[in-house]
Each structure stands twice: as structure tokens, then as C-alpha cells.
Amino acid sequence: MKLTLRSMVSMAALGAAMAACSPAAEQGSETPPSRAGLAPGLFDAGTAIWNLELTASVPPPDGFFDLETVMIPLSLPAEAEGDEVTDDEGTGETADADDVPADMPADGPADVEDADEEDSGPGLLSFANSDLAFTGDRVIMGGFHGFNVYDAANPDDPAHILSVVCPGGQGDVSVHGDLVFFSTEQNRGRLDCGNGGVEGDSSPERFLGVRIFDISDLGAPRQVAAVQTCRGSHTHTLVPHPTDEDIAYIYVQGTSSPRPDSELAGCSGGEPDENPDTALYSIDVIEVPLNSPEQAAVVSRPRIFTDYETGEIAGLWAGGALEDGGQTAASTVACHDITVYPEMGLAGGACGGNGILLDITDPVNPRRISDLADPNMAYWHSATFSNDASKVLFTDEWGGGLGARCRAEDPENWGANLIADIVDGEMELRGYFKIPGEQSDIENCVAHNGSLIPVPGRDIMVQGWYSGGLSIIDFTDSENPFEIAFFDRGPLGPDALRVGGYWAAYWHNGRVWAPEIARGLDVFRLHASGHLTANEVAAAELIRFDEANTQTQLHITWPDEPVVAHAYLDQLARSGALDETGLATVRRAIEGWDAGETDAASLAAAAELLAAATDPQAPADAHRMAELGAMLMRTR
């Protein structure tokens, strides 16, 4: 375990302590340890770890951490029933006994009209870390205050090299070469990354949308473009041009209410029957000429919720009577996030009340081909495809990420993952997964961002669950997903819910990278266990990408290597798809290859044996046998 410690004035006063588990007895065990009752602490919280090893913890850098802000409680205990004090004077005014602080006049706070004078410092979430992007040896961590760049040439000792301050949340990041794309959605966002001075409902200084930074000169990062959008940018997704390497597209997902036309021309809200130009019911598509990013501009606002038969823009509305009178919000009006899978020409949209599947072969004009609604899903939040795009996993961010939703009393399919199979282009519900309800009521927890771990022959994903830690699941059988590894910390502090935990957990180049909202950046190695052999881990660690943005899903192809073949064989042994004799025959062939004594006859015999043993009723094993057989034949 390598510790990276930096001087942090505010923390030094604390006597900052960083604790980590050394892989101990529970490594490799079939039975997970309990996650219940872990001790609170900022850098010394209790931990539970299973089949993983924490190899680095990089605390937030100076200027991006403030102890008081991190420790602001998000929630106070609910009002007890019977607290009410009824005023019998006949005014009808009642108040709760504990409502009025002793130092406050009973008719309300005296300072409410000039509240800013009593500024209580940076607000909660001001320094929250959010998403990650990877390029070369660099890891970029976005956040509500800007972004930070790390040199991860040694992944078990990432070094912080650069901070860029640009407040405005959420700081969802992507990277392409030297360009960093950065989402801004909060009302305080300024064009110049400054603070304050954006007053009223329209200000020329306000910025809501996607910024583009050039970090080619680490001594002088520059903002080169700021593309305004009607609803800002909660998240965004980088979409490569199908043929032109000099052009990239950005899908912009804004979830705020539309800005007025007075601030940004062409923006308006309302329902499409009254306002066909409404900024609701669409995403924004930005085209970025990569050699002149300053020319980036919105080129389309596709109506991806349209009913293509009737032309109804609000096409995902399930129907039913409109309420009488008044403005009505309708169905799915925005996407929270979109994961594109360019190699497959597909995208998975997590769009509030629906999960949708898009055809993106024409990226400027994505078209919906399937949609799903589900009574267990509160808020469709993000999507991850299986590598072969036969499945898509959606997360449900019930409670918005700030709520404690992984308690024993929380239903197991709420705030969970939903797994759908994609059958003939249509999504069909198969199953759910949620981590065990062992989190406390002072830990924000719900399903959140993750990515595939490239184990051949299996669908395995790592994801963050905020203060529920991070979790790795196998969803090869989409009806029966199960957990194979996790790491969890106790809450940030005692007695009150504070916002922390893993925004995401992503696999990249042999490690799990996990941005912690309050505690910085963590790195993990995956360990072999009863659920995962050393060969399967090694095969996953072979996969390397120079650049990776998780919501731009990359297709994984495994090299013809003995360890990959062994990984498939381990799976066939685990499932019992091959008998001992068959396993031994194939294993000998692979071992000969591994020893540099490639024997064409025995490889061919092994491939034949696999073909003969294939049972189409067991699709996962049939796929493994086909892949392994083909590899052996190529190797002959």
C-alpha cells in the first residue's frame, strides 16, 4: 500500500490519518465480509474490502479541499410528530418548537433580506469530485470546482500535476488528445471561470454548457471554447465522427429548466403543443472541429423522444388524461446521461422516466429504436452495454445521489441496476442488482457510474455507489447478477448525513480508478478469488487503451494469448461445460502453446473437442467455446 500525502493546512490540524486495508485473510474468500457499522472518519474511516486491494489514495489537492465544507451535514433528523405548537391566539399561525433558533426573532430571521452578509462560506458540494477521463499516462478528475490532472505513469502512485479552477458543477469530463471537455450547469457558472456577478435571469457573463480546454501546455492551460446550451450541461458524451478523425461530436445532456431567450437566443421552454421550439424533449449535439476547437457549435437538437408514427415530440408520454388547466410538464423531457457505443452504432440513453436505445450511425441525428419504462426505476441515470451489445445495464439514481438509499429498509430493486437484454433491437427487462442493504442512514448511497472490466467470456462491471463504496458484479446471466468484489468505507462523520463516496468506479488499463467526492482519487487492483481466477484477472489486465472516456464505450478484443485461452478454460471448468477429460485435453494444448511448442494437431483437436461439446442451450458457455476454439485454430 503506497500512500500519497500532501500538506493540507486544514487537515494537518486534524492530524490527517489515512487507513487502508492490507489484503488479508478475506482475500479470495467466497464469503464477503459485512459492510455494516463501519466506523466514520474522513481519512481514517473503517473499511471493508473483498477481492480487491487499495493501492493508492490521493487526497484532494490544496485549493480543492475545505474541511468545514466537507463536514456540512446534508440532513437533519426528521421532525418528530407532535412537535407542533398551535397558536391559540386565533392567528392560525403554528410553528414547530425546534424551528426557531433561540437567537432569532420569532417572526423569522432578521437578516433574510441581506442574507449574503452572513455568508456561511462555501456551500455543500462546492468541492465535490465527480467524473474521470483517461489519456496517455494522465488521469483527469472533474469536479464542481474545476478539474485536476494526475500523472499516472505509475498507476499505484498517481502524482497530482495541475489544477484548473472553474466553478459551476458538475464538471463531468471527457478528453481527446490535449482537449478537455467540461460540463457546467449551475446558475453561478461564468464564461471566465470566475465567481459572482451573474445576476438576474439573463447575464452575458453566465455560462451553462460545455467548455473546451486545451492542456497541451501544462504551464498554461487555456479555455479555447465555451459552447452555451439552453439547459446547460449536466453530463456530456464524446461521440467520434464515423469517418472523419478531425471532427468529434458532443452529446449534451442538460437537466435544468430552459434559459430565457434574453440570455441565449433560441432558448425557450414549455410543452411542444404550445411551443414547437421548446428546448425540452431534446439533447444538444455540438460539432467540434478538432483542429480549430474554438469553432465548436451546436449543430442539432435531436428530438429523440418523438413518436415517429405520429410526429408527437413528447412521444414517450405513456398517455392518460391531462390535468385541467395550467401548464403541464410531461413525460421524459431530458436525458441524464447517454453512453454511446460507436463500434455498434448504438447509444443507451438514461432519460429520467425511460431508458432508451438509439441508433447513432448518423451521430448528428440519433434515432430512438427502443424504449423501456419500469415501475422500480425512479430516475434512469446512466447506461453500460455488455461488450457484444447484447445487454444494457441502466442505473437508477433514486434520491439523486444525496439520499441514503441502501439501508435495510430500502427495497432491493429501488436505486438499483436494471439489466435488459437487447433482442432484435428491442430492450427486454431481465433482472436487477443492488448491493446489500448494509449502509447506514447517514451514508448517501444509490447505483452510480461504472464500466466493464474486460474479462473475456463474462460480463463484469465495476461501479461506484457513493458512500456505499464500490462494487463489482457479474451480469453474464442477466437474470441473475451477483457480486464478486467490493470496497466500502464508513461515513464521513458521525450523527449526520454528509455527502461523500464514489462518484464512479472505472476500470482502465489494469486498475480500478475511483473518484471519491470528498476524499480524492483511489486506485485498486483486482484480486483473484473463488469468483475470478488469476487467468481471468490477467486477461483483463492485458487490455490497454491510450484514451478512454467511459460514456464513449470502446469495444474490447482480446489478443491471442495463452492467458486469455486459460481464462476461457477456467470458465468452462467452473460451469462444468467440459468434463475432466475434455478440460485436460484443451489445457495441454494451451500449455504447449504457452511453452512455445505450438502443436497444430493438438490445437486443432482441442478446437474440435470444444465444437463437439457446444450446447446452444447454454449460450454463455457456447460463446466461450466458440471464442476459444477460434483462437486455437488461429494459433495453429
Binders of other proteins in range 155-174 (CB under 8 A): 160-167, 169-170
Task: Please report whether residue 89 would count as binding other proteins according to CB under 8 A.
Answer: no
| 403, 490, 500, 515: which one binds other proteins (CB under 8 A) | 403
For the residues of 427-493, what is the DSSP string, one character each? EEEEEEE---S---TTB-B---EEEEE--TTS-EEEEEBBBT-EEEEE-SSTTS-EEEEEEEE--SS
Site for other proteins in 17-46 (CB under 8 A): 17-22, 24-25, 44, 46
User: Which residue stretch of 188-196, 450-458, 473-481, 576-584 sits at the interface with other proteins (rule: CB under 8 A)?
Assistant: 188-196
For the residues of 578-601, what is the DSSP string, one character each? S-HHHHHHHHHHHHHHHTT---HH
Report in angstroms how near the CB of residue 87 gets to other proteins at its nearest. Answer: 8
C-alpha distances out from residue 227 to 196, 210, 574, Å: 20, 5, 52
| 291, 309, 375, 546: which one binds other proteins (CB under 8 A) | 375
Report in angstroms how near the CB of residue 47 gets to other proteins at its nearest. Answer: 6
Task: Please report whether residue 371 would count as binding other proteins according to CB under 8 A.
Answer: no
Place of cell 420569532: 106
| 256, 268, 390, 585: which one binds other proteins (CB under 8 A) | 256
Nearer to other proteins, 208 or 554 (CB): 208
Task: Please report whether residue 95 would count as binding other proteins according to CB under 8 A.
Answer: yes
Site for other proteins in 528-567 (CB under 8 A): none
Provide the 8-state DSSP code for 352: B
What SS3 state is found at 249? Answer: strand
| 36, 37, 84, 276: which one binds other proteins (CB under 8 A) | 84
Write the interaction track for other proteins spanning residues 272-311; mark x where CB under 8 A is met and - where it is not. Answer: ----------------------x-----------------
Write the interaction track for other proteins spanning residues 315-334; mark x where CB under 8 A is met and - where it is not. Answer: -xxxxxx-x--xxxxxxxxx
| 28, 74, 261, 547: which one binds other proteins (CB under 8 A) | 74
Task: Please report whether residue 248 would count as binding other proteins according to CB under 8 A.
Answer: no
Provide the 8-state DSSP code for 171: E
Nearer to other proteins, 9 or 601 (CB): 9
Nearer to other proteins, 31 or 120 (CB): 120
Q: Which residues contact 167 (CB under 8 A, 6 or more apart)?
A: 126, 144, 145, 146, 186, 188, 189, 193, 195
**Residues facing 518 on adjacent strands:** none
User: Which residue stretch of 211-219, 360-368, 466-474, 475-483 sits at the interface with other proteins (rule: CB under 8 A)?
Assistant: 211-219
User: Which residue stretch of 64-72, 282-290, 426-434, 529-537 sits at the interface with other proteins (rule: CB under 8 A)?
Assistant: 64-72
| 48, 56, 338, 569: which one binds other proteins (CB under 8 A) | 48
Task: Please report whether residue 58 would count as binding other proteins according to CB under 8 A.
Answer: no
Nearer to other proteins, 375 or 596 (CB): 375
Nearer to other proteins, 13 or 601 (CB): 13
Task: Please report whether residue 616 would count as binding other proteins according to CB under 8 A.
Answer: no
| 16, 542, 620, 626: which one binds other proteins (CB under 8 A) | 16
| 188, 241, 527, 588: which one binds other proteins (CB under 8 A) | 188
Site for other proteins in 97-126 (CB under 8 A): 99-101, 103-104, 107-109, 111-116, 118-126
User: Which residue stretch of 59-67, 531-539, 574-582, 583-591 sits at the interface with other proteins (rule: CB under 8 A)?
Assistant: 59-67
Place of cell 448518423: 362
CA atoms of 422 and 485, how far apart (whole Å): 26
For residue 173, the surrounding DSSP H or E stretch is strand 170-176
Please provide residue 533's backbone torsions phi and psi, each rounded to the nearest 5 degrees: -85, 165
Task: Please report whether residue 263 would count as binding other proteins according to CB under 8 A.
Answer: no
- Would you say 564 and 571 are in contact if contact means Cβ atoms under 8 Å apart? no
User: Which residue stretch of 183-191, 284-292, 416-424, 557-565 sits at the interface with other proteins (rule: CB under 8 A)?
Assistant: 183-191
Task: Please report whether residue 493 would count as binding other proteins according to CB under 8 A.
Answer: no
Please provide residue 74's backbone torsions phi and psi, each rounded to the nearest 5 degrees: -80, -35
Task: Please report whether residue 223 would count as binding other proteins according to CB under 8 A.
Answer: yes
Site for other proteins in 124-143 (CB under 8 A): 124-127
User: Which residue stretch of 90-98, 416-424, 512-520, 523-531 sits at the interface with other proteins (rule: CB under 8 A)?
Assistant: 90-98
SS3 letters across 178-218: CEEEEEECCCCCECCCCCCCCCCCCCCCECCEEEEEECCCC
**Residues facing 53 on adjacent strands:** 525
User: 170: cis peptide before it, omega within 30°?
Assistant: yes
- Would you say 489 and 46 are in contact if contact means Cβ atoms under 8 Å apart? yes
CA 14, distance to chain mean position in Å, is 31
Q: Which residues contact 421 (CB under 8 A, 6 or more apart)?
A: 390, 391, 427, 428, 430, 478
Report in angstroms how near the CB of residue 382 gets to other proteins at its nearest. Answer: 13
User: Which residue stretch of 360-368, 378-386, 521-529, 577-585 sits at the interface with other proteins (rule: CB under 8 A)?
Assistant: 378-386
CA atoms of 454 and 567, how far apart (whole Å): 11
Report in angstroms how near the CB of residue 223 gets to other proteins at its nearest. Answer: 4
Provide the 8-state DSSP code for 509: T
Please provide residue 591's backbone torsions phi and psi, each rounded to the nearest 5 degrees: -65, -35
Report in angstroms how near the CB of residue 630 gets to other proteins at its nearest. Answer: 43
Q: Please give the grid coordinates belonging to residue 483.
A: 457480486
Burial-class residue 522 by CB neighbours within 10 Å (0-12, 13-18, 19+).
buried
